[in-house]
Amino acid sequence: MPQQSWIPRWLGVLGSPIEGRVIIGPNWFASVMGTAIVASAGATLPIPVPGIITTAAWALAVLLLVALLVFMPWNWARHPENLRNLADDPIAIQFFGAPPMALLAVAGATILVGQQYLGQGVAVGAAWVLWLIGTALGLLTAVAVPFRLFTALEVRHDGAFGGWLMPVVPPMVSAAVGALLVPHTPAGEPRQTMLFVCYALFGMSLMASVVIITLIWSRLAHFGTSGSARVPTLWMVLGPVGQSITAAGALGTAALGALPPPLSTALDAFAVVFGVPMWGFMLLWLPLATALTLRAHRRNMGFALTWWSFTFPVGTCVMGTSQLAAHTDLTMFTGVAVALYTLLLVAWVTVAIRTYRQSVSGGLLTPPPVSPHAVAQKG
């Protein structure tokens, strides 16, 4: 029988029962996040980036977002058991934080890249809509997912993993993207309110992330790593780290146009006072995550959608480093930002190709109904 083209196969798989095994889960939105951050990080890099890269990434992120917003509800409507299984899975449920962050990532890329094609009015209007919806959904996941984890789902003693950050990081992304919308808020109290709301979102996510990162470190120290496709989620630790540096820098700049001195100048200085120490932790975690990933790769770590963890978190570090370069004018930060952006591009190309191949074959579309527990071990 001649091989069918990938388009009919996609459509057939998405709509076919296949014993209920076809699952379009929220983790697919990580591909939107990882693609949108290529556009945003390139647009904010201290040196010029070819427009074809940022434009193509933004356009592809929009297309992926629209496709997933259609296909995921369609899949759940046809197979309600998929949604129930996701909500009852202590691993899969964490990735409900991905759709809000995908909306927010596209909102940021639309302001930074899409504005030159859509015009300021349309781009800002679209970003506002995406930001409001993404922020509302992000606040919902930040509360609902931990609540369900605390009250209904069983977690093993070695169960802490990077995915626990997914539901609590969206408010930090809201803070970083919201900073871009502060100048487009009416001057006076509305603009100041928007600024302080973003700082509140910043603190909300930062404190929760610190707690979870501590638990991840404890699990690694006591039990080691699994060597499975869960290992790439260690890169998610870089997400709140890089995004918090980005948010602090962008909010500090926004404060100069929203508040009177000395408060505005103090918040602008906070971008460096907070950002540089946090950047130091980034420099610690990056080689640790790299070493643990290479160790798992040597032990035949399989491909999964968790590999998109190599993209968005690194992209936030690019943007955070670019913010420090803008606030300090130091060549060191510029050089590191460029190096990290190069790493981001390599990671995106690698993961995108693997995702395409696995999608065409149907492998990524038929995961187990319940995520297998990855047993952590040393040695």
- Of residues 225 and 97, more confidence is placed in 97
Instruction: Please tell me the predicted confidence (pLDDT) of residue 377.
Output: 76
Q: Which tens digit of pLDDT belongs to each residue from 157-214?
A: 989 999 999 999 999 999 999 999 999 999 999 999 999 999 999 999 999 999 999 9
Instruction: Please tell me the predicted confidence (pLDDT) of residue 345.
Output: 99
Q: Which tens digit of pLDDT belongs to each residue from 64-79?
A: 999 999 999 998 998 8
Q: Which tens digit of pLDDT belongs to each residue from 230-253?
A: 899 999 999 999 999 999 999 999
Strand partners, 377: 225
Contact 104, 139 (CB under 8 A): no
Nearest of 1, 9, 35 to residue 352 by alpha carbon? 35
Q: Which tens digit of pLDDT belongs to each residue from 272-300?
A: 999 999 999 999 999 999 999 999 999 88
Residues 23-42: what's their mean pLDDT? 96
Nearest of 348, 16, 30, 367 to residue 173 by alpha carbon? 30
Q: Which CATH number do you get for residue 94? A: 1.50.10.150
Contact 167, 212 (CB under 8 A): no
Q: Which 3 state secondary structure label does DSSP give 225? A: strand
Say if 58 falls within a structural domain: yes
Say if 368 falls within a structural domain: no
Say if 262 falls within a structural domain: yes
Judged against a pLDDT cut of 90, whether residue 344 lies above it is answered with: yes
Strand partners, 225: 377
Residue whose pair of structure tokens reads 């427009």 in the numeric block: 51
What is the pTM (predicted TM-score) of this model?
A: 0.93
Structurally, the chain folds into a number of domains equal to: 1
Say if 7 falls within a structural domain: no
Instruction: Please tell me the predicted confidence (pLDDT) of residue 323.
Output: 99
For 82-94, letters b (16+ CB in 10 Å) and e give bbebbeebbbbbb
Residue whose pair of structure tokens reads 């058991």 in the numeric block: 81
Lowest-confidence segment of 32-36, 208-212, 326-330, 367-371 by average pLDDT? 367-371
Say if 100 falls within a structural domain: yes
What would the two tokens of residue 36 be? 């949108």
- Of residues 130 and 371, more confidence is placed in 130
Residues 306-330: what's their mean pLDDT? 98
Say if 204 falls within a structural domain: yes
When pLDDT is cut at 50, 70 and 90, the band that residue 359 belongs to is: confident
When pLDDT is cut at 50, 70 and 90, the band that residue 60 belongs to is: very high
H helix or E strand, kind and range, residue 231: none
pLDDT, mean over the chain: 93
Judged against a pLDDT cut of 50, whether residue 18 lies above it is answered with: no
d(CA 180, CA 126): 13
What domain range is 165 assigned to? 20-360
